[in-house]
Amino acid sequence: MPVGAIDDARVLAEVVGLVAGIRETSPGVFSVRIALAVETTGGEIGQLVNMLFGNSSIHDDLNLEDVELPDELLSAFPGPGHGLAGLRQDVGASGRALTGSALKPQGLPARSLGELAERLARGGLDAIKDDHGLADQRAAPFADRVAACAEAVARANAATGGGTLYWPSLSGDLDRLRRQVETAQAAGIIAVLVAPMILGLPTVAALVRDYPRMRFMAHPAMAGAARIAPPLLLGKLFRLIGADATVFPNHGGRFGYSRETCLALAAAALGPWGGLKPCVPVAAGGMTLDRVPEMLEFYGSDVMLLIGGGLLAARERLTAETARFVEAVSRHA
């Protein structure tokens, strides 16, 4: 909007954005602070990101680096319902990092995914999540998969005395997501995986509001491409809408995030922020067992390490390899 076309005194005084500072961070690259009026956000997450980066996202030489939310706005958002402390309590893990793996590949029938889940759970993991590619496909429809995996994990927990949580992956529109959550709850599930940049941030915020007893893990699918700094998007904004845990690609794996980005992301997910509970950073993406000590040195214990394919590649030794992973994390504590 050309400012010259605005003739409303209140809009000019109270609503128009202000450039609060410009700093040249390297030759030709500028860090610009822009102050926006809280009222422009309507207290709603979709409109908040629209204000932060809606049209700006179209400029290919602009990145969104960070945002500071005044208490008035921050208090409009719930943040994680359970967060780090809640997940630690769920699985009885104190003073050590959390462990997780992923069910895949797509195309397996529900029964086979259930068998995999049982073998992983018998290795003593804290979390087994669906690969985010598992949706509601005919090879393993959501309801069948959840029934098979929930039962399998419960059987393993009963046998080992463990407390592995199974996190099925949700997909579709809000109506369908609600049916999926209710299907999961009926199978005794208390935790789910969501991809906020595919489902829409407002959609995930609505789910978190509607199902306060559920734990939510956010997946970065479709989030990585945006010119929004990962610590802001995957750390702060996903935490803001209520992710209890947030998956991100660890440095040195098959994705390109740097060490600095990963540390900043973990800090954004965990650090003090108004009254919001800490959100568990979940380091994933091409991780292997031999990297466990290094990752724990790097992140400390307030993290979940997620090894997917690296465990599944053990095939018939899956449970033993999983137990080695769990043991490596415990030993490090």
CB atoms within 10 A of CB 131: 19
What element of type H or E holds 27?
Answer: none
Q: Which residues, numbered 32-91, are part of the site for its own copies (CB under 8 A)?
A: 37, 39-42, 44, 46-47, 49-51, 53-55, 57-61
Among positions 224, 298, 327, 332, the unique one binding its own copies when judged by CB under 8 A: 224
Among residues 53 and 216, whose Cβ is nearest to its own copies? 53
Confirm or reject binding of residue 228 to its own copies (CB under 8 A).
Answer: yes
Which stretch, 79-87, 91-99, 128-136, 179-187, contacts its own copies (CB under 8 A)?
Answer: 128-136
| C-alpha to C-alpha distances, 266 to 28, 94, 139, 290, 327, nearest whole angstrom | 30, 18, 35, 21, 23
Among positions 6, 20, 22, 29, the unique one binding its own copies when judged by CB under 8 A: 6
Confirm or reject binding of residue 324 to its own copies (CB under 8 A).
Answer: no
CB atoms within 10 A of CB 175: 8
Among positions 68, 175, 290, 297, the unique one binding its own copies when judged by CB under 8 A: 175
Beta bridge partners of 248: 283
Among positions 111, 155, 227, 332, the unique one binding its own copies when judged by CB under 8 A: 227
**Interatomic CA distance for residues 223 and 242, integer angstroms:** 17
| Phi, psi angles (nearest 5°) of residue 268 | -65, -35
Residue 197: CB minimum distance to its own copies, A = 8
Confirm or reject binding of residue 1 to its own copies (CB under 8 A).
Answer: yes
What are the start-end ranges of the H helices in 235-317?
Answer: 238-240, 259-270, 292-299, 309-312
The number of helix segments (H) and strand segments (E) in the chain equals 15, 10
Confirm or reject binding of residue 105 to its own copies (CB under 8 A).
Answer: yes
Among positions 174, 190, 289, 323, the unique one binding its own copies when judged by CB under 8 A: 174
Q: Which residues, numbered 293-322, are part of the site for its own copies (CB under 8 A)?
A: 308-310, 312-315
Among residues 255 and 298, whose Cβ is nearest to its own copies? 255
Among residues 10 and 23, whose Cβ is nearest to its own copies? 10
Task: Return the closest-CA partner of residue 327 out of 299, 300, 293.
Answer: 293
Interface size with its own copies, residues (CB under 8 A)? 81
| C-alpha to C-alpha distances, 293 to 66, 167, 225, 286, nearest whole angstrom | 31, 25, 30, 16
Confirm or reject binding of residue 14 to its own copies (CB under 8 A).
Answer: yes
Confirm or reject binding of residue 9 to its own copies (CB under 8 A).
Answer: no
Structure tokens at 34: 């822009």
**Interatomic CA distance for residues 278 and 270, integer angstroms:** 4
Q: Kindly state the DSSP code that residue 101 receives in the 8-state scheme.
A: E
In degrees to the nearest 10, what's the CA dihedral of 284, 287, 293, 298?
-40
Task: With H, G, I as helix, E, B as strand and everything else as coil, classify residue 33.
Answer: strand
Among residues 13 and 158, whose Cβ is nearest to its own copies? 13
Q: Which residues, numbered 140-169, are part of the site for its own copies (CB under 8 A)?
A: none
Structure tokens at 274: 């108004």
| Phi, psi angles (nearest 5°) of residue 255 | -115, 170
Among residues 157 and 169, whose Cβ is nearest to its own copies? 169
Q: Which residues, numbered 194-213, are part of the site for its own copies (CB under 8 A)?
A: 195, 198-203, 205-206
Confirm or reject binding of residue 24 to its own copies (CB under 8 A).
Answer: no
**Interatomic CA distance for residues 202 and 275, integer angstroms:** 21
Confirm or reject binding of residue 28 to its own copies (CB under 8 A).
Answer: no
Which stretch, 68-76, 118-126, 146-154, 225-233, contacts its own copies (CB under 8 A)?
Answer: 225-233
Residue 275: CB minimum distance to its own copies, A = 23
Among positions 65, 137, 212, 274, the unique one binding its own copies when judged by CB under 8 A: 137
Amino acid at 317: R
Among residues 226 and 289, whose Cβ is nearest to its own copies? 226
